[in-house]
Structure 1
Amino acid sequence: MENYLLCCDWGTSVFRLQVIHIADFTVLAQEVSPDGIATTFNSWKQQAGEDAVPKPEFFRRQLKTKIAGLANRASIPLDHVPMIISGMASSSIGMEDVPYAQLPFALNGSRASVCYFDSQVDFPHEVYLVSGVRSGEDVMRGEETQLIGVTTLLRSTDRTLDDAIFICPGTHSKHMYVRQGQLVDFHTYMTGEVFSLLATHSILKNSVDVEQLTDSLEHSPDAFKRGLKDADSCALLNRIFTTRTNQLFGKLNSQENALYLSGLLIGSELKPLQKKTKQELVLCCGSSLYPFYTLAIAELGLADRTTIVPPELVDKAAIVGQVILFQNHRKKLNEVVK
């Protein structure tokens, strides 16, 4: 089964497992579920009495169930296929707490922090558990694996980016500073999480309608553009409350108001890049956020120096990064054995 690899992205709230063909990164089957690290950890904590099992074993049992389901989908036996896991599985609430890698972080994967688990009788899979990266005041888990994949895919298209800022939108957006093949710094922006909290748990929840937000953007982009224009980090807290008065004074309907709030937060994240004129920008955006960030990049005058990675390549990047890390660290293990 040397041609296959089990690639697992185990996030806080989502579990994704894929079996891929290593040579061409083809996904043969995948298993996606809401059994993220937080849910799995809480289930482990709720054990009691003689039936309680150690945390690594409990996590392996969860993986074994998922692999069995994946084998049925792929219609191939998966015993003895190695597995690489990135995301929150290497955190304190994960399978094993693995120390972060340090900056500068080489984008060939050679300096990644990886913990190896040998196969066992009841779990016939080698496991390569990938940790994240830390700076002096920030951390990431999983985005660095995607970054390895993105830069590899860009090199295959003859795009060389020796001094660039890679923008990865999400719940916790990352701006990653790459110089001469190394990640040298990064910053986290809680854009997605703050939007969710404001739209569902704050006084603004009755002023916005987040259903069909992408369709609303297509039909009513002006409200989003207005939010981008009003975004100002110095007055952001005041501007956020404007979302409330937009509704009270009948200036925007609830769908337009959600777009306004989205524009405010995305604009606050991206506007500082207007002053960082020396670096190229690379937008690595999944399909759900793609229309919001591409429109923001254009409206903020950043398009001329931005490379936009297609969403299908972004989706593929994590797999490419995992394959590179697996090959690098299996090679290191083999050299130690020799």
Structure 2
Amino acid sequence: MINYLLCCDWGTSSFRLRLIDGATYELLEEVTGQQGIATVFDAWKNTGEKNGVSKEQFFREHLKRQIEGLAGKAAQSLDQIPVTVSGMASSSIGMEEIPYATLPFAMDGSRASVRHFEADETFPHELLLISGVQSQEDVMRGEETQLIGLAALLDQEGQRPSDAIFIFPGTHSKHMYVRGGQLLNFETYMTGEVFKLMATHSILKDSVDLRSLSDFSAGNLAAFRAGVQEADSALLNRLFTVRTNQLFKKINKQQNAFYLSGLLIGAELKPLRAKENWQLVLCSGTNLFPFYQQAITDLKLVDRTTFIPAEVIDQAAVVGQVILFQNQHSNVSVYRNESD
């Protein structure tokens, strides 16, 4: 059993590094920032590559600086503490691209695809780089690690349903189909990204006001619920009603932002009504939770939905990383570098 672990969630646009007690999963200290994979990759292309620095070395140096910053906050040396990294760091624009795991994907992490790096003088940390999962037509990186951790946490409480669709809202929402301890399939919905594009870069940008998306006043809530109900297969047509709502002064711009959100979330969730034999598990953080909870209620899906608290979702990624690190010397498929 490891004593401490550095758990890094490195997304396209964000970075989070946490010092974790490996036995209790307790968060001891953390650093966060906007130095996501895309930003670091661009910096390497602009400076590192031109100066002969390899992509792997450039990412390691950035990660090392973040670890040193975390050590300062924790007031202790973090040398020799292992690091696990999930998210986009294993992609083509990350530290090193490694193969995706394939379906079916075991919920205990035993079929995860990872790359192992030994500690050395320049980077005094054993490092485990976690890849994502692919189906025949979809991919994900990071959510599968959260799913592994969440399954373990629910098992501890005896609350994990045997057949369930786990819903992870976000920029690219994931619906993950789990049966018999295995992830069988998953679907990606570009709900969050389409909302941002429509609200900031399309003709609809002048019809919405995004400054009060946390204000669930009666008018805003009514607009959101109307959007959920009106979402259907003619989504491309319904999106233009955001424009006419404003032109005809049916609702104000703030309410219209809620209406747009309702259209997109409704379009994502409505197909679940036909999947009556599946339980639903909503795995949402604090920002999106009220939107998805309201949509699930209005679509009459609430009776077969389990709502996971935001703090459990936050812990799930860490638990998944700890499990994968502990598995690496047993039955995880590990891709080692040639010097190992």
- Which interval holds the TM-score relative to the shorter structure? over 0.9
The answer on whether the counterparts of 1:214 and 1:291 sit within 8 Å (CA) in structure 2 is no
What is the Cα deviation at residue 203 of structure 1?
0.4
Structure 1 window deviating more from structure 2 (47-56 vs 189-198): it is 47-56
Spell out the pairing of 1:312-327 with structure 2 (5 A cutoff).
312-327=311-326
Task: Quickly say closer, same or farther: Cα 1:267–1:57, change in 2 above 3 A.
Answer: same
Residue aligning to 1:179: 179
Distance 1:212 1:4 in 2: 40
What is the Cα deviation at residue 328 of structure 1?
0.4
Residue aligning to 1:136: 136
Matched to 2:38, the amino acid is: A
Task: Quickly say closer, same or farther: Cα 1:314–1:171, change in 2 above 3 A.
Answer: same
Task: Quickly say closer, same or farther: Cα 1:48–1:316, change in 2 above 3 A.
Answer: closer
Structure 1 window deviating more from structure 2 (250-259 vs 206-215): it is 206-215
Matched to 1:12, the amino acid is: T
What secondary structure is seen at the aligned counterpart in 2 of 1:56? helix
The answer on whether the counterparts of 2:48 and 2:54 sit within 8 Å (CA) in structure 1 is no
What is the Cα deviation at residue 162 of structure 1?
1.2
Matched to 1:154, the amino acid is: L
What is the Cα deviation at residue 76 of structure 1?
1.8
Distance 2:88 2:325 in 1: 17
Among all aligned residue pairs of Structure 1 and Structure 2, give the percentage whose two residues are the same amino acid: 60
Distance 1:177 1:39 in 2: 32
Residue aligning to 1:40: 40
What is the Cα deviation at residue 220 of structure 1?
2.6
Distance 2:245 2:329 in 1: 57
Residue aligning to 1:101: 101
* Greater RCO, 1 or 2 (C-alpha within 8 Å, sep 6+): 2
What is the Cα deviation at residue 191 of structure 1?
0.0
Distance 2:331 2:47 in 1: 37
Distance 1:286 1:50 in 2: 40
Distance 2:213 2:162 in 1: 36
Residue aligning to 1:278: 277
| Runs of 5+ consecutive residues of structure 2 not aligned to the other structure | 333-340
Residue aligning to 1:308: 307
Residue aligning to 2:335: none
| Runs of 5+ consecutive residues of structure 1 not aligned to the other structure | 334-338
Distance 1:330 1:278 in 2: 38
Distance 2:110 2:49 in 1: 43
Distance 1:196 1:256 in 2: 16
What secondary structure is seen at the aligned counterpart in 1 of 2:322? helix
Distance 2:108 2:48 in 1: 44
Distance 1:43 1:217 in 2: 43
Distance 1:325 1:41 in 2: 26
Matched to 2:259, the amino acid is: Y
What secondary structure is seen at the aligned counterpart in 1 of 2:214? helix
| 1:192-220, Cα deviation, whole Å (9 max, x unpaired) | 00000000000000100111201145763
The answer on whether the counterparts of 1:216 and 1:255 sit within 8 Å (CA) in structure 2 is no
Structure 1 window deviating more from structure 2 (196-205 vs 43-52): it is 43-52
Alpha-carbon RMSD: 1.6
Distance 1:330 1:142 in 2: 21
1:123 aligns with 2:131: no
Residue aligning to 1:336: none
Spell out the pairing of 1:204-283 with structure 2 (5 A cutoff).
204-216=204-216, 220-232=220-232, 234-283=233-282
What is the Cα deviation at residue 157 of structure 1?
1.3
Distance 1:77 1:48 in 2: 28
Distance 1:180 1:218 in 2: 42
Query: When the two structures are aligned, how many residues end up with a matched partner?
Result: 333
What secondary structure is seen at the aligned counterpart in 2 of 1:97? coil
Distance 1:152 1:26 in 2: 15
The answer on whether the counterparts of 1:29 and 1:73 sit within 8 Å (CA) in structure 2 is yes
What is the Cα deviation at residue 49 of structure 1?
8.0
Distance 1:89 1:236 in 2: 34
Task: Quickly say closer, same or farther: Cα 1:61–1:49, change in 2 above 3 A.
Answer: closer
The answer on whether the counterparts of 1:5 and 1:19 sit within 8 Å (CA) in structure 2 is yes
What is the Cα deviation at residue 40 of structure 1?
0.5
What secondary structure is seen at the aligned counterpart in 1 of 2:109? coil
TM-score normalised according to structure 1 size: 0.96
The answer on whether the counterparts of 2:102 and 2:135 sit within 8 Å (CA) in structure 1 is yes
The answer on whether the counterparts of 1:217 and 1:224 sit within 8 Å (CA) in structure 2 is no
Task: Quickly say closer, same or farther: Cα 1:268–1:299, change in 2 above 3 A.
Answer: same
What secondary structure is seen at the aligned counterpart in 2 of 1:197? helix
Distance 2:273 2:10 in 1: 34
**Which runs of at least 4 in structure 1 moved beyond 3 Å after TM superposition?**
48-51, 216-219, 330-333
Task: Quickly say closer, same or farther: Cα 1:50–1:88, change in 2 above 3 A.
Answer: closer
Task: Quickly say closer, same or farther: Cα 1:169–1:218, change in 2 above 3 A.
Answer: farther
What is the Cα deviation at residue 159 of structure 1?
1.1
Residue aligning to 2:54: 54
The answer on whether the counterparts of 1:216 and 1:256 sit within 8 Å (CA) in structure 2 is no
